Amino acid sequence: MNAIKNNIFAGITAAIVALPLALAFGVASGAGAIAGLYGAIILGFFAAFFGGTSTQISGPTGPMTVITATAIATFPNDLSSVMSIILLSGLIQISFGIVGIGKWIKYIPYPVISGFMSGVGLIIIILQINPFLGVESQSSVIMTLSEIFNTLKNIDYDSFLVASITLAIMFFTPKVISNKIPTALIALVFVTFLSFYLGLQIDKIGEIPMGLPEVIMPFSFDLSKLDTILTLAITLALLGSIDSLLTSLVADSMTKTKHNSKKELIAQGIGNSLCSFVGAIPGAGATMRTVININSGGTSKVSGMVHSITLLLIVLLLAPLASQIPLAVLSGILIKVGFDILDYRFIKILPQVKRQDLLIMITVFLLTVFVDLIMAVGVGITIASILAVYQVSKNTKIKTQRAQTSFDIDLDSKKIEVIKINGSLFFGTASVLDKKIEKLKDVKYVILDLKSVFYLDISAIFMIEDLIEKLRDKNIKTIFVLKYAHRRAISKVDINKKFKDSKLYHNIDEAINFTQELELKNA
């Protein structure tokens, strides 16, 4: 019974924290405050109900809001196309869960995640400069920065005052208070009432419809827009999946449990797909709300569902009050969120990190802020992969030596070269072996000793096939020393029978003995 009470209390607490953020993310996306609220309600409920992380709280997040804002800017006054993007992103997430792509998220290098998260944090901060100053917001970072001098000339000082007070509360509320009452809620309530009391004429959220939302039917869009829709949908799906699974890892470390990544991605996909039918913005597992849920006593899916039900009751009962919240208050809250997203853990050690990691982090950071989020992650992973391949290839040792034989015949024209490989033989190291072969002179037999190779990929196998042909043209016979596993792998792909005339042995002695027997037979 206590567990149920704790989960109900934790869910209500998480809802109180989620309320101002859902409103703020909804407004920041361009879809409106109600879209943010229903995103938190629908995604939060279904992700908790079907999810694989029992304590996770889901809802609109910074990265997802940035991409949603891009979609809305790309398709102005075209709600159906935007909701089609959200529906597709949800379906893609479901497919990610079904095929088990979640297990690969952990292989994304930390500098990529750091650069991406810090980039998203800076995007949110920059895009909130205009609302903070009471000026109409721009849809892109570059436009916001290029118009900054005009923005400063047109400051609305009432909005600036309200936003500054909000930001001060967000940053400087003592922990004794913030541990009991979320600072975002304190700022939302206090500054809204202050602006009302002072009679400030500043922009507000505006009317929030009471009652349940109208159903929208996505997939009504011009097919010529399909490439853009798919690109944005894939971006949302990837970011939502990464965001959610990273939060799942945080929850695991706090609760000493292990999440089910397949179930989590399917649940996130179901929630985001359903958001598209009511005009809500998508989201993901939210780290801060999940941490608060756990610290408040949340231990099961009940807390996540209670969080959503609480938000629904607030919409149904308190919508008129929420409509009076100034936009400047939300901008102050979001700027603090942007600062919270910055990866201080990595930033603090920038002078000490390796140059390769710094290169990856800065590249991803700059591409995230000024170019494209999905390109940033793709380029970061590519650079990290190339550097990783380079490091692995450096650790692969290829030694060449003449075989020791007991021939009682003239060996000057019958020399045996043993090439021993230690490490991985793959696309990153195969070219080194090719160079070694090119340097061979006065050789009749080449023994490739691959017994100490622990990884052999298809690129290396094809390259070895080409080497066999080269050596055969020079009248040099190729002999292999292989593990049984590598022998099976080669036989499966040897459709052109390139290895047919090459001898395959399990140890080096057998290979050398074969050359001796052959030479004695031909002597």
Distance CA 476, CA 462 (A): 18
The reported pLDDT for the residue numbered 236 is 92
- Residue 110 has a CB neighbour count (10 Å cut-off) of 15
Looking at residue 437, which CATH number applies to its domain? 3.30.750.24
Say yes or no to pLDDT of 305 above 90: yes
Looking at 332, 365, 387, which one is the last position of a domain? 387
Distances (CA, A) of 399 to 420, 422, 434: 5, 8, 13
Instruction: Read off the pLDDT of residues 176-194 as tens digits, 9 standing for 90 and up.
Output: 887 777 788 888 889 989 9
The reported pLDDT for the residue numbered 219 is 67
Q: Token digits for 520? A: 């004695």
Domain presence at residue 392: no
Say yes or no to pLDDT of 259 above 50: yes
Q: Which residues pair with 446 in a beta bridge?
A: 417, 478
The reported pLDDT for the residue numbered 402 is 66
Does residue 377 sit in the same domain as residue 500? no
Say yes or no to pLDDT of 160 above 90: yes
Do 283 and 58 touch, CB atoms closer than 8 A? yes
Does residue 100 sit in the same domain as residue 36? yes
Say yes or no to pLDDT of 341 above 70: yes
* 82 vs 322, higher pLDDT: 82
Across all residues in the chain, what is the average pLDDT? 82
Domain presence at residue 32: yes
- Residue 82 has a CB neighbour count (10 Å cut-off) of 29
Does residue 375 sit in the same domain as residue 417? no
Range of the domain at 463: 397-522
Does residue 318 sit in the same domain as residue 452? no
Looking at 355, 387, 419, which one is the last position of a domain? 387
Q: Specify the pairing of strand 416-425 against strand 445-456.
A: parallel
Q: Cα–Cα–Cα angle for 475, 477, 481, nearest 5°?
A: 160
Q: Specify the pairing of strand 284-285 against strand 477-481.
A: unpaired
Does residue 277 sit in the same domain as residue 166? yes
The reported pLDDT for the residue numbered 483 is 79
Distance CA 70, CA 74 (A): 6
Do 368 and 376 touch, CB atoms closer than 8 A? yes
Do 68 and 316 touch, CB atoms closer than 8 A? no
Say yes or no to pLDDT of 312 above 70: yes
Does residue 272 sit in the same domain as residue 361? yes
Does residue 125 sit in the same domain as residue 176? yes
Does residue 145 sit in the same domain as residue 180? yes
Look up the pTM and report it.
Answer: 0.74
CB burial of residue 519 (10 Å; 0-12, 13-18, 19+): middle
What's the whole-number mean pLDDT along residues 118-135? 88
Q: Token digits for 99? A: 């095929």
Q: How confident is the model at residue 409 (pLDDT cuts 50, 70, 90)?
A: very low
Domain presence at residue 238: yes
Q: What is the CA 350 to chain-centroid distance, rounded?
A: 21
Does residue 298 sit in the same domain as residue 405? no
Look at residues 227, 223, 246 and name the one whose alpha carbon lies nearest to residue 235.
Answer: 227
Does residue 450 sit in the same domain as residue 326? no
Domain presence at residue 234: yes
Does residue 442 sit in the same domain as residue 342? no
Q: Which residues pair with 477 in a beta bridge?
A: 445
Look at residues 281, 214, 286, 316 and name the one whose alpha carbon lies nearest to residue 35.
Answer: 281
Does residue 98 sit in the same domain as residue 227? yes
Instruction: Read off the pLDDT of residues 469-512 as tens digits, 9 standing for 90 and up.
Output: 777 777 878 787 887 777 777 777 766 666 766 777 777 777 77
Do 239 and 373 touch, CB atoms closer than 8 A? yes
Looking at 387, 421, 441, which one is the last position of a domain? 387
The reported pLDDT for the residue numbered 411 is 45
Provide the residue count of the chain.
523
The reported pLDDT for the residue numbered 401 is 67
- 210 backbone dihedrals φ, ψ, rounded to 5°: -85, 155
Distance CA 215, CA 299 (A): 33
The reported pLDDT for the residue numbered 412 is 44
The reported pLDDT for the residue numbered 496 is 67
What's the whole-number mean pLDDT along residues 47-60? 92
What's the whole-number mean pLDDT along residues 344-352? 85
Please give the share of the chain, as a percent, with pLDDT higher than 70: 90
Please give the share of the chain, as a percent, with pLDDT higher than 90: 20
The reported pLDDT for the residue numbered 221 is 63
**Overall number of domains in the chain:** 2
Q: How confident is the model at residue 216 (pLDDT cuts 50, 70, 90)?
A: confident
Q: How confident is the model at residue 453 (pLDDT cuts 50, 70, 90)?
A: confident
Instruction: Read off the pLDDT of residues 286-303 as tens digits, 9 standing for 90 and up.
Output: 887 888 788 778 888 999
Domain presence at residue 446: yes
SS (H, E, C) 377-401: HHHHHHHHHHHHHHHHHHCCEEEEE
